[in-house]
Copies of this chain bind each other. A is one copy, B any other.
């Protein structure tokens, strides 16, 4: 969609240097931008590309404005402003309301007339689908699910049963929300399955990544509060509770009944064990394992970076004998007295 720089400046509260009538209809990086493209600068490492950019306009902070060779939209937070402008210039395709002839909708389901149900989707018993919801091809929304307005299920998403979702949720392909948690009681004859009877409650503005799984609660519900963002291939176990605006990068796993605070950030492949509590505003480094409560905001970590395998093996061999090193130091201390 083409929009003028003047209109962007007004709409997003930016200061504009340059011709307000210039139109932009695409976005691009500083390096690759051509005529008609809006670009942005929010990472100072990329500033080297600014002087040679061919963008129609660059969204940037005041500190970089003087160095911009083209029109500039000056704003305090250029990355967030770019995100909002890009959503306006390159919108998600509009919904085409209606139920595709190949979709199957249970007679007890209730689907808003402005919703789009795509090819091969399935909507189950008593499911409720709100206004402007997009249910992509192959998506299964099972019994007793309730989906708020303007949610988007991209394709091949599965919600087997009893999931409640607020407004504007985005569910990427292959995400599974509300399948059984891993509940097994041990007996002398082997495992007995513990019925997983709870549901999942998801707030507004939540995004769930591709092939991520969010299990239903064992008895009560698994809860994901407003504004939570979860990347691909994450595992949210039964009865986990994730506080508002927490962000979870790819391949993280939260074990059963863990309680995660608000505005936390989990880097890729991090994890927490079951039945623990993490307070608000905690950041966990990549591949970090949280196995005890965290009660203080801050940055936590525990991982090693790779090094040449021979060097690493030597260190591990040393580590394996660390006990004896302590003994040797103790002996030296004794002698030293």
Contact = CB atoms under 8 A, between A and B. Distances in A.
Interface of A: 27-29, 32, 77, 79-80, 82-84, 86-87, 90, 93, 100, 102, 104, 118-120, 122, 136-138, 140, 142-143, 154-156, 158, 160, 170, 172-174, 176, 179-180, 182-187, 190-195, 197, 205, 207, 209-211, 213, 215, 219-220, 226-227, 229, 231-233, 235, 237, 244-245, 247, 249-251, 253, 255, 268-271, 273, 284-292, 294, 298-310, 312-316, 318-320, 322-323, 325-326, 328-329, 332-333, 335-336
Given A83-B193, A318-B326, 10 more contacts: A27-B195, A77-B185, A83-B183, A140-B173, A155-B158, A160-B173, A191-B227, A211-B213, A269-B271, A318-B323
A292 B286 CA distance: 13
A323 B315 contact: yes
Contacts of A303: 289, 304
Contacts of A319: 304, 315, 319, 322
Contact of A205 (B90, B190, B235): B190
Interface pairs A-B: 7 shortest CB-CB? A158-B173, A80-B185, A300-B306, A104-B119, A190-B227, A301-B309, A122-B137
Contact of A306 (B93, B176, B229, B302): B302
Contacts of A315: 319-320, 322-323
21 contacts: A27-B195, A32-B219, A77-B185, A83-B185, A84-B192, A102-B120, A104-B119, A138-B140, A138-B158, A154-B179, A160-B173, A174-B176, A182-B250, A210-B213, A211-B233, A270-B306, A271-B286, A294-B306, A300-B312, A304-B316, A319-B319
B285 A271 contact: no
Contacts of A100: 104
Contacts of A299: 308-310
A326 to B, nearest CB: 6
Nearest to A275: B45
Contacts of A156: 138, 140, 156, 158, 176
Contact of A301 (B32, B292, B307, B329): B307
Nearest to A205: B190
Nearest to A106: B119
Nearest to A174: B176
A4 B50 CA distance: 66
Most B CB within 10 A of own CB, among A82, A250, A305, A308: A250
Nearest to A173: B158
A256 B195 CA distance: 32
A186 B81 CA distance: 10
Nearest to A244: B190
